[in-house]
Structure 1
C-alpha cells in the first residue's frame, strides 16, 4: 500500500537503502568527501506508483527535517508545507474530511504539481516507522548533522499523532 524508504547515494551515484549493511560506511565516506552533505532521497510509493522518487534527490537530512516539520504543522493545524530543500521543490500536506477516515492530500511541486490522497492513519504509521529508521541511521554516522533536530521533532510528532 504505502511504503516510505530512504536512499543515499554512493560515490558512483548508485542508490543504497539506509537499511543496507554498507549504508553507514558509504554515508561516512560520502560525507567526508562532500563537506558533510548526505545526498539521497525519500522514496514514497503508493501501491506501485512513485509519489517521491530519485528525481527528487537532495540533501536527505534536510529532506527529513522538512518532512517532519511539515508533518508536525499538519498534525497541529491540518495543513503543512515545506520547501526545506537545496533544489527547488515544495511539499504540502492538507487534511481532507470527505470520508469517515481522515485523508491526507499530499502535493509535490517540482516543475509540475502532483497530488496524492492517503488514509491519514496508514500514512502516519508508515511515516513514523520510516522517520524512526532514518533517525536511528543518522545517529550512527560520523557527522550526524541533523540528529539534534530530527529526534525532538519525531518525538513531538509521535506524541501528537497518538492523541
Structure 2
C-alpha cells in the first residue's frame, strides 16, 4: 500500500471534522502527488503533540522558520509508509526523543493552514514520551520546551490549543 493509499484509508476512518476531512480526501483524489511538498496546491503533512510520561506537560518546538511554538511535524518523505509513521518520525527527529509511542485510535485531529511553501493539510497525532527521556533541539528548532497544559494557550496559537484539547480527551 502506498503512503497516498494509507492517507486515504486513515482519513476515511477518521470520524470527526467531517467537512475538513472531505477537503483532504478531495485534495488527494485530485492530486496524485498530494502527499509531497512539490505539490504546489498544498500537501498532506503529519505531526504529533508530544506528552510527558506523567501526562502533565507537552513539548513544543519554537519553529526556526515560522518563529512560533508548535507541535513536532512536517512533510512526508518517500521512505514513510504510513501517516502515523511519518508523524512519529517527525516527532522523533524534532524532539530528539527515542521511543515515543503514538496514542491509539488514529489522528487526534486535522488542521489546514497556509505556510510559506503552500497549504498544509496536517494530520495530527499525539505521542507519549517514555520515562527518563531527554529532548534535544534539532536544526529545525530555535528552542524546545515543556509546557504545562495551562500554559499552552499563552504561547501557542489556536491550532495547538485545539490539538492539546483533543489529546487530553484521549488521555
Normalised to the residue count of structure 2, the TM-score between the two structures is: 0.30
Write 1 or 2 for the structure with the bigger share of helix. 1
Tell me the TM-score normalized by structure 1.
0.31
